[in-house]
Structure 1
Amino acid sequence: MMSESDRRQITQAQVAKDFDDVAGDYEDKINAALSFGGREHAFYIDVKREHILRLARDHFTDIGSIDVLDLGCGLGAYHAGLEGKFGELHGIDVSAYSVELAARRHPFVRYATFDGERLPYADGEFSLAFTVCVMHHVPPPQWAAFVAEMRRVIKPGGLALVFEHNPYNPATQYIVKTCEIDKDAVLLRPGRLRRLFARAGFDDVHTRTIISVPPAGPFLTGLDSLLGHLPFGAQYYLSARKPS
């Protein structure tokens, strides 16, 4: 994990190359970093996917009719469990090799690559855009532009969701420091992320922590939800609405 000043020297092209290089054994590297916690990456993917679906259902009358973008989709880890949930599901990433592998696994998703700056979509193309543990890999000078592009491609009244590592959680700090994939990461504090989205022109900007306890089963899931207003969760999500 880098300091923000050091991370400013990293370019999106370097990020793309780094993820091209690790795409083939990405899951193995993530699982190795998570091994001390006793659960594999798939467990945490399931947790966040359920949050995406819950938040979408809370915001939209019929999620089956909306077009959705996974921004920074990587290998499409969340996509298998989203098949048939939305009108169209799109995924985009700077890593061409990751997108190639994702497309082989999930033919129902419309994939694309981009340069990390301008998204190849029209203004207001998606009702929902989500990005999961991506922004800490974006060079800090480009955070504001990343959020602005996310806003541009969302329809008026649409929803943005961001999931990030919680820098206040000691276990998360340990995992990030010991994971090769996160060697260039700069973690974003929830308050800073909220300000980025508010300044970009989003409304109803909220953050909430998750995975304060492993949400396995109804009781622990309910407990994790109750603890969401406290800063203890391993990760957190931001939700924000583009004004109508």
Structure 2
Amino acid sequence: MNRSIGFSGLGIDMFARGKAADMLELLQDQLSIPAAESVCLDIGCGIGVVHPFVVPDVEHLAGVDVSEAAIEIASAANEDVEYRVQHDESLPFDSESFDFCSTACVMHHVPPDQWPGFVAEAWRVTRPGGLFAVYEHNPVNPMTRWAVWRCPFDHDAVLLRAGEVRKLLRNQGFEIVKTRYLFFVPIDRSWARRFDRLLRWLPLGAQYVVCARRPAGGCSAGVQDPA
């Protein structure tokens, strides 16, 4: 990944810090409980590069990935995070277990016909009133498309626009609470991140986040109410 974005002069640590800061802001602004009391899940966590920047500010953080090797690396690096391996299409957690679920640059690796099932599993493990945040590469940004093209493990990537993510979440029953764009300035400085915040409304950032809430009542629009 660092090689694929090397032309920018940046590394994945900057993107990890930026996404962690955005996640914590969503927790503080959109969740009904304090962030320090929240139970969070990172779906498709990889080697857990975001986790050191999140775990000090939440009650509990869990990560799940289909790669056993990635989970081994993440576990060795982050002793305070609960990690599990996902062996099939179901997340290895009980229903309604988490206040905040997130997935960062994962959905573009999921075959498009499996996107609804992916979102349905996030719905299942999110508590009513909880949040699900999808971070993705922005296909409108030409530098993002170049980085994806250069990355060996992105050869099968199908990039999603923010509007597609919103539609998938709404179809499942989520209520959209926030869409914003991230990483406009390719400089790893605090002033650059402050400048990024001013442009979050502009759909040209290298990545974006769509954050949605599972309503406190009712059932999923994607499944039949058993009653």
TM-score by length of 2: 0.90
Answering whether residue 3 of structure 2 is matched by residue 32 of structure 1, we say: yes
Residue 91 of structure 1 aligns with which residue? Answer: 63
Task: Answer yes or no: is the 8 Å Cα contact 2:10–2:187 preserved in 1.
Answer: no
- Give secondary structure in 1 for the equivalent of 2:184: coil
Equivalent position of 1:138 in the other structure: 110
Tell me, in whole angstroms, the C-alpha distance in 2 between the residues paired with 1:219 and 1:107: 32
> Relative to structure 2, which stretch is displaced further, 180-189 or 76-85?
76-85
CA–CA distance in structure 2, aligned partners of residues 215 and 237 of structure 1: 20
Relative distance call for 1:32 and 1:218 in structure 2 (3 A) is closer
Which whole-Å CA distance do the structure 2 matches of 1:217 and 1:32 have between them? Answer: 20
Q: Residue type matched to 1:164 in 2?
A: E
Instruction: Between 109-118 and 130-139, report the one with greater CA deviation.
Output: 109-118
Structure 1: runs of 5+ lacking an equivalent: 1-29
Say yes or no: does 1:234 pair with 2:206. Answer: yes
Q: Which residue of 1 aligns with 2:30?
A: 59
**1:90-239 aligned within 5 A:** 90-214=62-186, 216-217=188-189, 219-239=191-211
Offset at residue 116 of structure 1 (A): 4.5
Whole-angstrom distance in 2 between the partners of 1:67 and 1:220: 30
Write the letter of the residue equivalent to 2:112.
P
Deviation at 1:78, TM superposition (A): 0.8
Q: Which residue of 2 aligns with 1:48?
A: 19
Letter in 2 for 1:198: R
Please give the secondary structure, in 2, of the residue aligned with 1:176. helix
| 1:92–1:112 CA contact under 8 A, matched in 2 | yes
Q: Which residue of 2 aligns with 1:71?
A: 43
**TM-score normalised by length of structure 1:** 0.84
**Cα drift, residue 215 of structure 1:** 6.7
Which residue identity is paired with 1:196?
A: L
Closer, same or farther in 2 for the Cα pair 1:243/1:173, shift >3 Å?
same
Distance in 1 separating the partners of 2:194 and 2:54: 23
* Partner SS, residue 200 of structure 2: helix
Equivalent position amino acid for 1:101 in 2: I
Q: Deviation string for 1:163-185 (max 9, x for gaps)?
A: 10000000000010111021111
Native 8 Å contact 1:159 1:239 kept in 2:
yes
**Two-structure CA RMSD over aligned residues (Å):** 1.4
Tell me the secondary structure at the aligned position of residue 131 of structure 1: strand
Aligned pairs, number = 215
Work out the percentage of aligned pairs sharing the same amino acid. Answer: 40
Do the aligned residues in 1 keep the contact of 2:8 with 2:186 (CA within 8 Å)? no
Q: Which amino acid aligns with 2:210?
A: L
Structure 2 unpaired stretches of 5+: 217-227
Letter in 2 for 1:160: F
